[in-house]
């Protein structure tokens, strides 16, 4: 069966890898021939989350590389998805549906649409996130 997109791109921190991360990668790969994943560097995460990931970047990137749905992994050093497009030339940007409709992603979607890239929002896995895991660990 022919996939809808040739090259798909998604990004994430992928801290404390969990089923929600796996679901996004699987659902993205189901729609593209090649899935490229940008893993946020520790430095980038610190700029917008104001905290360091629990799992170091080098380990997070190796975990994502080992996932069978992933064809290529690159460091994400900027939140600018258009800049990433200028380097990768992906056909679709995949992201969790929890970001759909936000002003940030409305702007990204408009900019990417101008170069023929589709923004695909995938269902968010309810009940799991790295934040939830961190909170649970704090109660142990």
**pLDDT means over runs of 10, the chain (140 residues):** 89 93 96 98 94 95 98 97 96 90 90 96 76 62
Question: For residue 116, what pLDDT is reported?
Answer: 96
Question: For residue 36, what pLDDT is reported?
Answer: 98
| CATH number where 39 lies | 3.40.50.620
State the total domains in the chain. 1
Question: For residue 131, what pLDDT is reported?
Answer: 62
Question: For residue 72, what pLDDT is reported?
Answer: 98
> In which domain, by residue range, is 36 found?
5-138
Q: In what order do the strands lie in the sheet with 32-40?
A: 72-76, 32-40, 5-12, 92-96, 118-122
């Amino acid at each position: 069966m022919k996939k809808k997109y040739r090259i798909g791109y998604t990004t994430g921190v992928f801290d404390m890898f969990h089923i929600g991360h796996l679901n996004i990668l699987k659902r993205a790969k189901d729609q593209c021939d090649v899935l490229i994943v940008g893993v946020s560097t520790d430095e980038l995460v610190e700029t917008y989350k104001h905290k360091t990931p629990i799992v170091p970047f080098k380990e997070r990137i190796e975990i994502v590389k080992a996932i069978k749905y992933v064809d290529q992994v690159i460091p994400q050093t900027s939140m600018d998805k258009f800049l990433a497009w200028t380097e990768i030339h992906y056909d679709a940007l995949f992201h969790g549906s929890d970001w759909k409709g936000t002003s940030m992603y409305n702007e990204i979607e408009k900019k990417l649409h101008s170069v023929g890239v589709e923004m695909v929002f995938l269902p968010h896995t309810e009940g799991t996130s790295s934040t939830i895991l961190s909170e649970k660990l704090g109660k142990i």
